[in-house]
Amino acid sequence: MIRVTKTFLPPQEEYQAILKKAWDSGWITNRGVLIKELEEKLKNYLQVPNIIATTNGTLPLQIAIKALGLKGEIITTPFSYVATTSSIVWEGCSPVFVDIHPEYLTIDETKIEAAITSKTTAILATHVFGNPCDVETIQTIAKKHNLKVIYDAAHCFGVTYKNQSIFKFGDISTCSFHATKLFHTGEGGAMFTNSEEIHDILFYQHNFGHQGPESIQGIGINAKMSELQAALGLSVLPYLDIIMNERRSVVNQYNETIDFSKITTFKLRGNTNWNYSYYPILFKDETVLLKVQAKLIENNIIPRRYFYPSLNTLDYINSKTINISESIASRVLCLPLYVGLKKEETDKIVEIININV
């Protein structure tokens, strides 16, 4: 069976050799040597001033909202994974949806200002499929209206914009290190900020509020990454060039063989060094998508409707119709993309798609 993704696993003995350090010390969590080593190596790899590794990719969003003291309304995108919206609601704020750009698929920055009210405190935008938002325009709007900016950069490991890590933009950026991502720790995630003051708040909030073993600086939660997760990340990290190159090869195969006379994909924003994280295709309508999806599944090929549904349609959201997002969500399908996907497999996938559109 060919699934939409396949977790990259390094040789087991390499993972076990790293994990042995934690085993020998008996220190399995609470920021042991492996988590500190991983954070330092990721800082160097990503060229960011700091990083706080976490146990998953959703808690960073919730902590970011809490750390910035956000209340009221947060402007966001309906075209994202559900964690983006659920984190806003979970933290007692109200998501206000702004439609997306029909080509970039990121929040349409030209529609943000019209959604700002006296209750607006922040913009939480998603870099979709690793494709950056218009970070300059969003920053200009945020500064003009005294708003905070959080980026859900779950798909963005290794992405650069104008030769800078995408994690350097906004007040806080978050990332996922889930097993489906190109860099992963099984489950995991991270928070990034350029502000030392915000970093200090994020740090104590991800560790129960501790500032030292006997001092509680403020309210916190447990979002710490374990040594077991860090060991997996340290064993995956040396393979990043291989992972990126193989994914690039698969993307190139799709680009060269898909019939784009009836299918489109997203437009990559200029000055972006992309990470080949996902391969979405857009059909004319949902009817064609469902036909192609059924034919792929008949052949043991499992794509994913990612992102579906448009988040403004969630049962616990009171929102109006968001036209472009709902249209895109109804007809976008992500194709299999992972290390080890063979050319004959991508050829079969493309043949089924081209015949049935």
Interval 118-130: pLDDT, tens: 999 999 999 999 9
Residues in the chain with pLDDT values less than 70: none
User: Cβ of 51: how many Cβ atoms within 10 Å?
Assistant: 21
CA distance 110 to 176: 28
Tell me which residue of 261, 258, 223, 270 sits closest to 333, measured CA to CA.
258
User: In this structure, are 70 and 59 located in the same domain?
Assistant: yes
Looking at 212, 238, 264, the residue that finishes a domain is 238
- Does 325 lie in the same domain as 259? yes
Residues 213, 280: one domain? no
The tens digit of pLDDT for each residue in 164-215 reads 999 999 999 999 999 999 999 999 999 999 999 999 999 999 999 988 777 8
State residue 166's pLDDT score. Answer: 98
Find the CATH number of the domain harbouring 263: 3.90.1150.10
Q: How many domains does the chain have?
A: 2
Vertex 83 angle, CA 199 and 169, to 5°: 40
What range does the domain containing 35 cover? 3-238
Same domain? For 148 and 289 the reply is: no
Residue 122 identity (one-letter amino acid): A
Query: Which residue type does 224 have?
Result: K
pTM of the predicted model as reported, rounded to 2 decimal places: 0.97
CATH number of the domain that 100 lies in? 3.40.640.10
Judgement on whether residues 226 and 324 belong to the same structural domain of the protein: no
Tokens of residue 190, six digits:
């991270």
Residue written as token pair 């030209």: 110
Cβ(281)–Cβ(260) under 8 Å?
no
- C-alpha distances (whole Å) from 269 to each of 22, 103, 124, 209 are 42, 9, 19, 39
- Phi, psi (5° rounding) for residue 318? -105, 95
53, 25 in Cβ contact below 8 A? no
